[in-house]
Structure 1
Amino acid sequence: MTRLGLAAFLALGLAGQALAHAHLRLATPADKSTVKSSPGELNLIFTESLNLKFSDVKVTGPDKAAVKLGDPELTRNGKALTVPVSAPLDAGAYTVEWHVLSTDGHKTNGSYTFTVKP
């Protein structure tokens, strides 16, 4: 195999691996959104199916205190992580931090923010 052929083979292989990671595709409440009232749950939809045992969500409020959440569940053929919010959220800015493991073994994480309108 020539150097050019080997480089192309490696590039395609690495591109395929990058596409296999579970990336956040859509969130409700959405990133940088302002909602009129406290959400009853968070819905995070990913590009790949998830392993629930190794996936979780943490929310912190305006005072940086952790928000109490219920147990996460998988929906939408394992691609959506639904997390109940245990108590109404006060007005202010919230940060959602997530980490997931896709069913093919790739870990990803990230965060986003939303605001509850006063």
Structure 2
Amino acid sequence: MISTRCRGWLVSALILVALAAPGTVWAHCFPERSEPKVGATVNAPQMVRIWFDGALEAGFSTLMVKDHNGKRVDKGDGHVDAKDKKLLEIGVPPLKPDTYHVYWKVVSRDGHRTTGDFPFTVR
């Protein structure tokens, strides 16, 4: 039988081990930066790129760009970069001056899903 004192040490040790485990076990991927930047006014870009803080699952991560009417305007070629698993990108045709919205849905390597969106304006 384990004494009360030993049980206390055992519980404390288990809590410390759980807290010291790598953060990716419970992590979600969130954007670190993007091109164009969130809310920026830019010349027409050829690509929209978002870099995340963790590796993405390519088969479950999507990106799209829509105009102010909600019409999809990207080339439909969104993908996780083969060399940089933290980069999600999509091509866009020459964009007219307007405000556009970028929508992303990603799944991190640990299976957690996050979504978001942001605007940018083409001058």
Q: TM-score range by the shorter chain?
A: 0.7 to 0.9
1:32-78 Cα shifts (integer Å, max 9, x gaps): 1000x211011110011111111101211022211132312323530
Amino acid across the alignment from 2:84: N
TM-score (norm 1): 0.79
**Higher gyration radius (CA):** 2
User: What are the ranges of 5 or more consecutive residues in structure 2 without an aligned counterpart?
Assistant: 1-6
- Preserved contact between residue 74 and residue 90 of structure 2 (Cα < 8 Å): no
Q: Secondary structure of 1:59's match?
A: strand
In the other structure, the counterpart of 2:103 is 97
Inter-partner Cα distance in structure 1 for 2:19 and 2:116: 25
Inter-partner Cα distance in structure 1 for 2:75 and 2:29: 22
1:34 aligned to 29, 41, 46, which one? 41
Inter-partner Cα distance in structure 1 for 2:87 and 2:73: 20
Residue 29 (structure 2) pairs with residue 22 (structure 1): yes
Moved over 4 A (4+): none
In the other structure, the counterpart of 2:73 is 67
- State the number of aligned residues: 113
Amino acid across the alignment from 1:111: D
TM-score (norm 2): 0.76
Inter-partner Cα distance in structure 1 for 2:77 and 2:68: 22
Inter-partner Cα distance in structure 1 for 2:61 and 2:88: 8
- Preserved contact between residue 66 and residue 72 of structure 2 (Cα < 8 Å): yes
Q: Secondary structure of 1:21's match?
A: coil
Two-structure CA RMSD over aligned residues (Å): 2.6
